[in-house]
Structure 1
Amino acid sequence: MALKFYRYQAELLVKNYLLADPYISYTSVLGGIFLCKMAYDFTQFISSFYFKGYSSLTKIQRIDWNNRGMSSIHAIFVTIMSIYLVFCSDLFSDNTINLPITFRSSSLSTFGLGVSVGYFLADLAMIAWSYPSLGGMEYVLHHTLSVIAVAYTMLSGEGQFYTYLVLISEITTPGINLRWFLDTAGMKRSQAYVVNGAMVFLAWLVARILLFIYLFYHIFLHYDQVRQMRSFGYLLIFVVPSALAIMNIIWFGKILKGLRKALSKGK
């Protein structure tokens, strides 16, 4: 009986406060930061028990290791959320809601964006604190653009469809992190490293090249709806995906170069 009472109280708290429209943006951001801390500590705990070489890593390598575990967990979460909202739910379907796609949002979509804002803020803080050990200026630029764009669409409710399309590209993050894990663990010459490189190449091609082409094509088809957005949102729709697309192409060239090098060594 007592268990049912506490369960009811918890559900009431979540419904009336944590996921209530006036508070959802703030609670989701704080929740995202808190979950990042949990993911960081969880990666540290698991690695210290199941990876023998973890204790021999330098301090900055352990921080990077834990940070990549944290970013992988966020990437899995936001990828699942993005694919569901974009392709599976009715929120952004052209046949269900008589409202411009640029103005559609829900409590769930806003909550997902808030969690991502919390992650990008936490990761940006770690990058700045350890700069440039966890990433150079390109990472600072990437995360800064991400925070601005995701926070705006979370608070305004504008352009959430395009934001989630871009966030699908996070599907490449676990593969990139696994590549770093294998390298740090001394497995750069292993078959797993080569297979991982091929998978990263394919995922990057689909999620960060072809998907961005589809995004710009979708903007072109729905330009009459895009132009109804406020000036800042309208600017973000073009500037942020364009900047990220340029960085994706540059990184894709490096991935292709690395894959060719790995394959030639394998032969």
Structure 2
Amino acid sequence: MTARRILAFKSYQNQAEVLVKNYVLADHFIPYTSVLGGILACKLVYDLTQVISTFYFSTYNGLTKIQRAEWNNRGISTLHAIFISIVSLYFVFWSELFSDRNSAGLITLRNSPLSTFALGVSVGYFIADLGMICWLYPTLGGVEYIVHHSLSGIAVAYSMFTGEGQLYTFMVLISEVTTPEINMRWYLDTAGLKKSSAYLINGVVIFFGWLVARILLFVYMFYHVYLHHAQVMKMHTFGSLLVFCVPLALAVMNLMWFGKILKGLKKTLSKRK
């Protein structure tokens, strides 16, 4: 009986591996499975954040229903930011896929199953988060957040489905590295720790993180586009427009938010003095 069970288990295991290989992770299914996986992951993280916070954070139980929804939502955005920032840093600075030393075709047309899968997960996040923002509007963010998520979602989805401009998509997504710090600031404020040293340190980290990831990195990206302008123009027209227009629009928004961050940091430091 034991040997029969082992053989039956191996049979089911082989069938599952074939299913995953031929369908779930097949190149032409990756965009769809990764987007669905991203949406389901957001739901899972939302529920886990709710359960963990209920038992381990006394502040959570004293929040209103809307505040608890935002608390859980920020758990989703934090985990997505950590995931996509690590992946983006890898593809932009360490992977040979988009390296100029790699002669495998135009840099603007290179992609891989892993890069496509990562972008799909990000698309799933943007869909889920945009849905929550619209459903609870304006609790989780105003018009600027809807514009930001819409532009980002469209650009990432296009890059995922067509395989074009994935390098520049990852460059923009590196800016998500500032999201955990922004969320931590909200958590500290909600917990009544606005006057704590942690809140001040968090503000300083946000300032420098934003400067590097959302200002200087965008300058680097625009310079990179300038150097590879001929390759960018060989993309489809819509893809080329996304490469030029979406980062520019996001850069303008980042500068506006950076002004608010600088103003808030000055205000906090003046109070400390």
Calculate the TM-score normalised by the size of structure 1: 0.97
Q: Which residue of 2 aligns with 1:108?
A: 114
Aligned-residue offset at 1:8:
4.1
Q: Which residue of 1 aligns with 2:165?
A: 159
Aligned-residue offset at 1:98:
2.8
Q: Which residue of 2 aligns with 1:246?
A: 252
Q: Which amino acid aligns with 1:37?
A: K
Q: Which amino acid aligns with 1:151?
A: A
Q: Which residue of 2 aligns with 1:222?
A: 228
Residue 238 of structure 2 corresponds to residue 232 of structure 1: yes
Aligned-residue offset at 1:96:
1.9
Residue 92 of structure 2 corresponds to residue 95 of structure 1: no
SS in 2 for 1:232: helix
Bigger Cα displacement from structure 2, 36-45 vs 207-216 = 36-45
On the 8 A contact 1:102/1:161 being kept in 2, the answer is yes
Q: Which residue of 2 aligns with 1:200?
A: 206
On the 8 A contact 1:85/1:91 being kept in 2, the answer is yes
Stretches of structure 2 lacking an aligned partner (at least 5 in a row): 1-5
Aligned-residue offset at 1:7:
4.6
Q: Which amino acid aligns with 2:191?
A: A
Which structure has the bigger radius of gyration?
A: 2
Q: Which residue of 2 aligns with 1:143?
A: 149
Q: Which amino acid aligns with 2:42?
A: C
Q: Which amino acid aligns with 1:96?
A: N
On the 8 A contact 1:152/1:233 being kept in 2, the answer is yes
Rounded to whole Å, the distance in 2 between the matches of 1:245 and 1:174 is: 19
Stretches of structure 1 lacking an aligned partner (at least 5 in a row): none
Q: How many equivalent pairs are there?
A: 267
RMSD of aligned alpha carbons = 1.2
- Shift in CA distance, 140/3, structure 1 to aligned 2, threshold 3 Å: same
Q: Which residue of 1 aligns with 2:88?
A: 82
On the 8 A contact 1:91/1:97 being kept in 2, the answer is no
* CA displacement, residues 75-103 of structure 1 (integer Å, 9 cap, x when unaligned): 00101111111111111011123311100
SS in 2 for 1:93: coil
Q: Which amino acid aligns with 1:207?
A: A
Q: Which residue of 2 aligns with 1:27?
A: 33
Bigger Cα displacement from structure 2, 82-91 vs 198-207 = 82-91
